[in-house]
Structure 1
């Protein structure tokens, strides 16, 4: 049996270490504090009996659980990321434990009147009677992806302590900077040496995903001209007003808060500006590659049309691809998804096979030659103060890892 209390204590230990990444720093890792958790994990993996524990100069931590079989089976892997999102502070996390949750409002912070309520997040009602770990309302929690790390370490420890459970060679890796899109950039697939892997980076219990968005970032720079407002007629160009027009020229219903399932979007996530210059930061997402390309083209066309109408080259759009839909790389080896699905059913978990409205290290790793579907880690409301994770979901995810190891040994016997 997976020890629930042990899972809880391990997870809390990890989330109290600040590992927030920085999208504006090109270094690996993008923040020095990611090393704090990486070094702790390095020591812990050695202590539980993992082999070939290696923390490289870029903060990628790999380790091996050797096979205990007398026949050959494929080497498989499990991957999670060390960093937490820069969207919300991960410093001074103070996790709260809510035992035997009964579907009520949870007061995260009485002083600031911050409440986690099923009126706003009805998924809470799935977890009546369970133990929830929440924030105190002032930080994110870090279940994305310290829940995944907890589950992988706990599963490896369980297999080491229970040698009667048969399994092949298993490789694990904890990566830096996934939240800023770089988690797989320096991942050495050959060194990892697995035929396929699974990222433990999904949300609610049962999620099993092998499709994700095609993704790009877009930086829209709008240049204006400042002159004294009393003498501005025919001279001033207010970049903020042009920016407002640009924003409204994109499809108003194709935004995250109005889309779901396979629907793509334009997401404006940052604005900085004054009269002289305004910069808009967007992400562009679509599951369909052709529609993804059309979205990038549309943004460039809107800028071109504005410049034509204004008679000046005021708007510049810089678009960078981030990752692509891993579906095309997974479908030829769909049996690796089938294995995870079978294990979930064996464990009494209803598989939720659906597209990821986002990306994981697995999407980039799949294109680097390591097919890598995504499995639930259990958390909800990632990247913000309302993040929470049911402990029972982390226990189940740990059981799924163990079950996949067993299933591969059985199928290739």
Structure 2
């Protein structure tokens, strides 16, 4: 019965997508990206004779999480190709990486699509990063006995898999060859529903941010803007964070601010400009603009490397549906602030808060109070050391994941 309802929902989605896309740019990309998708996929793959590893990511964040694993797999399985699929347009549009041989949207999870997709790709193994669970694709992979792995997955008691009415959803989990989970709670939850094919490997995002830290990319024009002053960077700013951030900028004229919106829209950028006063967009930055207080980063792809220029960081999302990646600033040992409404489900946020390296806040005055304490050099260095220790302790997850994949894929 659940399978029938699920199929009906997908049919309804497919019918209404073109109409909904007229009113929503993201849904329009979602729809257009899937037009003639399977035919295009077959055409692209028709000349390929190499074995394929299929990696599925929801969006760009999950892709970044999967990159350290992809890199190691390419080294381990020399000559194999990596095909990456995305559910979200933001992931598909943003990603352009030399480690990826083929990039496609994931066709809607119908039974027919799953069969045709796997027929065409013929993957030797499949990896689903973090939260991705698609019933028909998993069912088809299981039927064909293709090794299938859940990588850097994390489970919580509130998820439907662990509810009395979650039997149909639990069936999906049985399709996985092995789970590489982030923490003990996830392992315990899987064992509770009699899934023993799991191990704690950690979070591969630690490996990713450590790799990014080694990247020599510099931004001399932004360094010049900072003028050797203390810099507070605002990463992935969401509209729900605006009041806190705007008040913070107004009350700290002694600081330079770099603001990177989560979604770069003209409407949000104009709101930032009107609210913070002395500002300039990065795309318009001139040498004479170094007297401005705030630089608005109005392009994507720079944020993770800009954190190295800062002394403090605020990461958006804590007042909306969940904070963005706080490990990106943490790898540079930056004290990290974020909204206190939606952070408890993020292990790294809870861990760093407990260790004194991260600070959930309700308003700008709480950030100001903490900044005052961080003026104490001993306290600041103690905070930085706690963050550094945490990041370094959690490195090496990708190596563990690939070692398990090698072992399980041989069985």
TM-score, normalised by the number of residues in structure 1: 0.27
Q: Which has the higher strand share?
A: 1
Q: Which has the higher helix share?
A: 2
